[in-house]
Structure 1
Amino acid sequence: MSKLRRLVPSTQSLFVFEAAARHLSFKAAALELNVTQPSISYAIKLFEKHCGTELFERDNRGVHLTEAGIQLYEEVRSGFRGIEQKLETISGHGAKYITFAASSSIAAHWLAPQLYHFQEEHPDVRIKVVSTDRDIEPDKEVDITCWVRPRNFSRDNSWFIADEVIFPVCSPGYLRSHARPETVNDLVKHKLLHSSDLYRKRMSWSEWVELAGGDATEIQPDIVFNDYQLTLQAALAGEGISLGWAMSAQQLLNNRLLVRPLDMQIRTDRAHFLLANERATANSSCKKIVDWFLSSTSELREPSLSSQSE
């Protein structure tokens, strides 16, 4: 048997004490607990007698916690809060998060800078962003995610975001201290930043230069990052020129943290898609995020982005 049962007159006495201590008013506690004020006063006196010490000081101005009352109230309040949180969790009544899984580059450079706008419009929706190095199937653990697939990809609860468009990017500082490339072949004279993701197929510099009509034979990677996010970070630091995917570079370009040193881009036969699990249509919070994401990426679907050299 719990020792607590011997230390308090009843579990109800803890609720009475907590309400009276929180309000510092027997009258307010009585209203909250839907009982009379004399019954609150009697319950507190009984509790104090059981504890062997006064918990409240009474005077003409009302009631105040004694030092013992303050100490007990802190413990009771903390205990109640912990029990409430755990009961909400196990009963399913706690805070519901919409889990958004994305590559580290999209999570860092698209979602992170943008989500506060969404939260301002929808403060009732809570979002958990999960960075992942591979594509994750939306399921009971993941509500929404982004994939790159052939442009004709189609399935339930999937939405076209934009074509896969790739172009060189660098920091404004790098461009100020280096000669701007005038042609594709000028790129080989620059420090090119390379990445090779283990679980996601990304276009290499050699592939991009060849598709852009240049000579890729002199391109020899010296440093290769195993995560595209690291390549972008190196570009942001002014270390060289990286390939930029329109999806993950959109906000960096809009904010002039990155610039395009060469007016050339490649549009592949693939595209970015937003996917949600099967519960998406019945989940209003999930639908709000999907609608917001598609609206916020609308500029990526503008004809101007895909009308340049390919």
Structure 2
Amino acid sequence: MARRQLPSLNALRAFEAFGRHGRMTLAADELCVTHGAVSRQIRQLEEHLGVALTEGPRTRLRMTEAGLKLAQALSPAFDQIEAAVPRPVQAGPRPLVVSCLPTFAMKWLIPRLPVFQAAHPDIPVRVAESNGPFDFKGDGVDLAIRMRFLGDHHSDDSEVTPFMEHFHGPVMAPELARKGMTLDEICAMPRLLTRTFVESWSDWTRNRDLASIPDPVSTQEFDHYFYMLEGAAAGLGVAIGPWSFVQRDLASGRLVAPLGFTPGRSSIVALTPLDGAGEGALLFRDWLLAEGASTPHPPEALAPHAPDASFAPITRSRAHS
């Protein structure tokens, strides 16, 4: 068999972590190394490949199109390796397994998780990223976090607890935005989609009570929400971003939301076993309810064709009622 011509696995791992998080500091925290170490690994990977994988200023680095393509391939490859690695018999308390939407876990849940761990240091939590169906017993899941759309039938084996409302709206890189852009101009820009929810634009159009919107000049599809949002931050086009996914990127200035956000016809829910959840799962569910209630609402959507949409990061807060 021919010898594989692969770059350094450490460099690939560093770049994959940066691709998921979108920030060097978060990738460094995950890998337990310094920001500079991640930066050097990525630079060495670019030199080895002879291709630029990142661009932009150091304080707001983003992936190039080649970088996005590589990152999309690396994440499932590392997932397969992780799943295949044998594990020793678990010592100590069994972790609370939380099955969660990948981008929601990355952008909302994990940054808040230290609060739960500080309050309950005796309950280790393992976040299992998943978009699809699951089985509480077969998959060893204690609690799941999913998006539940209005009219969806409840599962026979789950107790459904909504803990946060869903808002969404168009987001883009600040370099693409300019004052005075109309709704039609924004909707006609290159449009970014994710395979996990290709209906995002039609869903937003319906929730905005718009009869129609202009066709985009082009469309580009990504495998996951977080890659689509990185594509938006890289300036590839405009995407429909859920508020819970983009709140931190708006605050940092990596993304802007010129039309604000519209309430969606869905909510984010916690699912626990109908035949009895464990004490840890119930404590985690109650914590989700408290965190959801304290998450600020986004700004309301501006009127269609608003001539003076604001591109400033969002700072206003309002607790859920």
TM-score range, shorter chain: 0.5 to 0.7
Rounded to whole Å, the distance in 2 between the matches of 1:181 and 1:115 is: 39
Q: Would you say 1:241 and 2:238 are equivalent positions? A: yes
Residue number in structure 2 paired with 1:70: none
The reply to whether residue 161 of structure 1 matches residue 163 of structure 2 is: yes
Where does residue 224 of structure 2 map in the other structure?
A: 227
CA 1:253–1:305 in 2, change beyond 3 Å: closer, same or farther? same
Distance 1:114 1:248 in 2: 13
- Give the letter for the 2:259 counterpart: L
Other-structure match for 1:146: 145
Q: Secondary structure at the match of 1:243?
A: strand
| Letter in structure 1 aligned against 2:241 | G
Q: Is residue 210–residue 216 contact of structure 1 (8 Å, CA) maintained in 2?
A: no
Report how far residue 224 of structure 1 moved. Answer: 0.7
Residues 279 and 144 of structure 1, relative CA distance in 2, 3 Å threshold = same
Distance 1:242 1:96 in 2: 39
Partner residue of 2:95?
A: 97
2:27 match: none
Q: CA deviation at 1:144?
A: 1.0
List alignment gaps of at least 5 residues for structure 1.
1-84
Correspondence for 1:260: 257
Q: What is the CA–CA distance in structure 2 between the aligned matches of 1:279 and 1:159, rounded to whole Å?
A: 15
Q: CA deviation at 1:109?
A: 0.9
2:268 to 264, 267, 272: 272
Moved more, 102-111 or 254-263: 254-263
Change (3 A) 1:275 1:134: same
* Aligned-residue RMSD, C-alpha: 3.2
Residues 280 and 235 from structure 1, CA distance in 2 versus in 1: closer, same or farther, beyond 3 angstroms? farther
The separation in 2 between residues aligned to 1:306 and 1:160, in whole angstroms, is: 21
Q: In the TM superposition, what are the counterparts of 1:58-73 in structure 2 within 5 Å?
A: none
1:284 aligns with 2:279: yes
Separation in 2 of the partners of 1:215 and 1:270?
21
Q: Which residue of 2 aligns with 1:183?
A: 182
Q: Secondary structure at the match of 1:149?
A: strand
**How many percent of aligned residue pairs carry the same amino acid?**
19
Q: Return the alpha-carbon distance in structure 2 between the equivalents of residues 274 and 256 of structure 1.
A: 30
**Amino acid of the structure 2 residue aligned with 1:142:** V
Distance change (3 Å), C-alpha of 1:227 and 1:123? same
Larger radius of gyration: 1
Structure 1 residue 184: Cα displacement: 1.6
Q: Which residue of 2 aligns with 1:116?
A: 114
Q: TM-score, normalised by structure 2?
A: 0.55
Aligned-partner Cα distance in 2 for 1:150–1:125: 31
More helix by share: 1
Following TM superposition, by how much is the alpha carbon of 1:306 offset from its aligned partner in structure 2, in angstroms?
8.9
Report the alpha carbon displacement of residue 99 of structure 1 after superposing the two structures with TM: 0.7
The answer to whether the 8 Å contact 1:235/1:241 transfers is yes
Alignment partners' CA distance in 1, 2:148 and 2:98: 18
Deviation digits for residues 51-77 of structure 1 (CA, Å, limit 9, x no counterpart): xxxxxxxxxxxxxxxxxxxxxxxxxxx
Question: Do the aligned residues in 2 keep the contact of 1:182 with 1:262 (CA within 8 Å)?
Answer: no
Q: 1:207 to 1:219 in 2, by over 3 A?
A: farther
Separation of aligned partners in 2, 1:159 and 1:306: 25
Deviations 1:193-227 (A, max 9, x none): 22222xxx453325534653264342254321122
8 Å Cα contact 1:208-1:266 kept in structure 2: yes
In structure 2, what is the equivalent of residue 131 of structure 1?
129
Q: Distance in 2 between matches of 1:253 and 1:136?
A: 32
Q: Report the alpha carbon displacement of residue 279 of structure 1 after superposing the two structures with TM.
A: 6.5
Give the conservation status (yes or no) of the 8 Å contact 2:188–2:217: no
**CA–CA distance in 2 between the matches of 1:272 and 1:219?**
29
How far, CA to CA, are the matches of 2:125 and 2:187 in structure 1?
A: 42
* C-alpha spacing 1:234/1:307, structure 2 compared with 1 (3 Å): closer
Checking the alignment, whether the CA contact within 8 Å between 2:187 and 2:214 is kept in structure 1 is no
Residue type of the alignment partner of 1:145: A
Q: Could you say which residue in structure 2 is the equivalent of 1:29?
A: none
Deviation readout 1:227-266 (Å, 9 max, x if unpaired): 2221122223343322111233344445554332213x33
Q: Evaluate the alpha carbon distance shift between residue 287 and residue 258 of structure 1 in structure 2; reply closer, same or farther with a 3 A threshold.
A: farther
Please, which runs of 5 or more residues in structure 2 have no aligned partner?
Answer: 1-87, 304-321
